[in-house]
Chain A
Amino acid sequence: MLAISIISELKHVQFTKAISSLINDKDASVKRSAVMAACKLKIASLLPLVMDISRHHKDKYLVIKGLQQYGDKLFEDIQLLPKDIVETYTPDFIKIASNIKGEHSKRFLLNSMGILNYQTNKTIHALWIQNYQPEDAKSMDTMQELLNKYLKIGISKISDHLNTVEYVNEKEILKSSLMSEIKTDLIVSLKLCSMIYRKKQINRILELIEAEKQHKIYNAMEVLELELPKKISRDLIILFDFILDPTENKTTAAISKSDTTPLFTKVYFSDSFTYNPWTKAIVMYCSWKNNKTEDLKSIRQKQETTEPYIIKETRDFVLNEIN
């Protein structure tokens, strides 16, 4: 233990072999120190070994914590890793990038924004944390496109929230998860607005949401109308209004009427990429609690290699229960 902590303070990488042999040590504290030393010393050749530990749930966070110490260079060095390893651990790399500032991590985040999925909100958050501002027309278009998508997705989830009547059992859990989704879509949209339109007032609104100062949010909504294009501010205000008062009114009733796709179909088929792992798992769990056997059978074959463990575990459980 002492030797490992001394090694991790040395600037010359002479102990790669020693660290490598201790990374899989049975003693948890030795393993912990070895992972930290490998990351602190930025030993690229040990990255596959370090990433391999991530396979065990218990050690996943130790690896992320260690890789945060690796710094921006990590995002240069992972390019040397096999593509499948990078793909598998992309959610973790995005998480790490939000705690690191630098050109390599920024480039990694921009590249991973290409395909919209449940991690895109984390990528946007990481870029916002890095004070990213789109500089050319292409990146501005990408951000604008994402903003339009997030606003559309958020509004579509309002109808999900209002259309949960068919889920009699565990309805409140489902509603709470959809409300969380709408709130996340609103926050992501505001972060995109902050990067696109470069308005400091939007960051102030984000602070108010974070601090849950609801009475001040009403004033903030007026700021949106003044500072942003009409269509964008209108959609943002629909989301704000629903979060502050999630009851059916003229606007939300119209939204809900125009979107008749069943929730299960949206979550697992048509809009699968827009829902987070918790909502996906909870929709599966609530479908089981409400005897929606046919819905559950339809996802028997729909298994992705990179899906989060919570989804895999819930699917295995409910399918086993309905058999």
Chain B
Amino acid sequence: MLIIEKILLLKNSDIFKTCNEVDLIDIASICIENYFDKGVNIFKKGDEGNCMYFIHSGQVSIHDGQHQLAVLSENEIFGELSLLDAESRSASATALADCILLKIEQDLFYDVVATNSDILKGIMRTLCKRLREQDRITVEMKKNIQ
């Protein structure tokens, strides 16, 4: 994949959508292409989380044992919180079809953001948005209960 194509993919994701394309050149250059055949386990629940994935093509099931939590496809991301902390995986991920994934490792990601704080600003904006949305849902739920 060309760096240009990687940037366009990153730009489509929730986590990097507010980042400037010029800044995303740095992130794209540390993205590694990974290929997974259908049925292959990408990571297991409880594994150490030290990377995130973008789906370039194919489908991925996020599951806890036999219980399917989500089916993700092109342009979607998973494991993104593992870029920011070192918690273990809360669910497993398995390829439902032959997949091309872009992987970003935590160490390399930290090196990039240590040199380019604008990327962090973009990510923080996205995380704040998610947090506000979560707060809104919590407030609504509390209202409903009362």
Contacts and interface: CB of A to CB of B under 8 A. Distances in A.
Are both chains from one complex?
yes
Interface of A: 28, 32, 57-58, 60-62, 64-65, 68, 95-96, 99, 173, 176-177, 180, 210, 276-278, 281-282, 285, 308-310, 313-314, 317
Contact of B111 (A62, A310, A313): A62
A275 to B, nearest CB: 11
6 contacts: A58-B108, A65-B114, A95-B116, A278-B22, A309-B29, A310-B25
B146 interface: no
Q: Tell me the interface secondary structure of chain B in the complex.
A: helix
Contacts of A32: 107
Contact of B4 (A28, A95, A310): A310
A314 B2 contact: yes
Nearest to B20: A180
B107 A28 contact: yes
B123 interface: no
B7 interface: yes
A180 B21 contact: yes
A313 B3 CA distance: 8
B29 A57 contact: yes
Contacts of B114: 61, 64-65, 68
B115 interface: yes
B98 interface: no
A314 B30 contact: no
A277 B2 contact: no
A60 B26 CA distance: 10
Q: Tell me the interface secondary structure of chain A in the complex.
A: helix
Interface in B88-135: 107-108, 111-112, 114-116, 121
A314 B115 contact: no
A213 B108 CA distance: 33
Contact of A276 (B22, B28, B112): B22
Contacts of B3: 281, 309-310, 313-314
A259 B51 CA distance: 47
B42 interface: no
B108 A61 contact: yes
Given A61-B111, A95-B116, A310-B4, A278 B29 contact: no
B8 A173 contact: yes
Contact of A177 (B21, B112, B116): B21
Most chain A beta-carbon neighbours within 10 Å: one of B3, B26, B29: B3
A196 to B, nearest CB: 24
Contacts of B4: 281-282, 285, 310, 314
Contacts of B111: 61-62, 64-65
Contacts of A57: 29-30
B26 A61 contact: yes
A66 B115 CA distance: 10
Interface in B1-57: 2-4, 7-8, 20-22, 25-26, 28-30
Given A173-B8, A180-B20, A65 B2 contact: no
B22 A180 contact: yes
Given A62-B111, A68-B115, A310-B4, A277 B20 contact: no
Contact of A61 (B7, B28, B112): B112
Given A282-B4, A317-B2, A65 B25 contact: no
A89 B26 CA distance: 15
A61 B22 contact: no
Nearest to B26: A61
Nearest to B112: A61
A99 B21 CA distance: 21
Contacts of A68: 114-115
Contacts of B21: 176-177, 180, 278, 282
A313 B7 CA distance: 13
Contacts of B7: 278
A9 to B, nearest CB: 20
A317 B22 CA distance: 20
Most chain B beta-carbon neighbours within 10 Å: one of A28, A61, A62, A308: A61
